[in-house]
Every structure is written in C-alpha cells, then in structure tokens.
Structure 1
Amino acid sequence: MQDRYLSLKEAAEYSALSVRTLRRHIAEGRLVAYRAGRTIRLKPEDVDALFTPTNAWSGGVA
C-alpha cells in the first residue's frame, strides 16, 4: 500500500489552515514534513494530529 502525501497547498485546503501556519508548525516541530527536492510533502494523518487534543498537564493539586 502506498502512502498518500499532500503538498502544502493541499494540506492547507484539507485542514482549513493557511500555508503560513503549516510552515510555522513545521518550523516549530509540531508537524512532520517530508522534503522531495524543493517540494514539501505532508501526510494527512500528521496534519490530523495537529487537531488531536493532548493532555500536556498531568493534573495534581496546587
């Protein structure tokens, strides 16, 4: 089975985010990008992961 990769423009349309926002997430390490020459490709599941809530706070009492 072959993986499907999205261009930045396709990922922006898919996620309703701007290309600039996607580039920022890539630069900050929140989004994994794959480079093929000058082209940046993203996996749809990696883009979806941006919208998956994480429990960064472990809880506890202050």
Structure 2
Amino acid sequence: MSLFGQKYRAKWFFWFLIVYSTLMLTAIPVGTLLGIGLLIFLIVKRKEFFAPTSPVTSV
C-alpha cells in the first residue's frame, strides 16, 4: 500500500526494492515478469523517492 497509495517514499525503500526485484529476476518465469515490472515501475517513479523534502517550520 505504501508503494502505490502514498506520495512519500523513503530512499532506503527504493534501494530495498531494487535489490528485491533483482533477486526476483532469478525466479523463472513468474518472478522474472514481476521483477521486470517492478524495476520498470521504480525507474519511472524514481523522482518520487529522491524528491527533496520540505523543512518543517514551527510558528
């Protein structure tokens, strides 16, 4: 849910999913398809993982 529902995504989560999807590529045939799909999704959405966060200011 956090991958699709929210716009906040942590940098560590991006790298975890890169490693996970790479490992999924070895599980032929279903894992390969899921791994490729996840890698494509991560490449397309990578700017959301590395977007600068706005500083919180207190009044």
With normalisation by structure 1, the TM-score equals 0.29
More strand by share: 1
With normalisation by structure 2, the TM-score equals 0.29
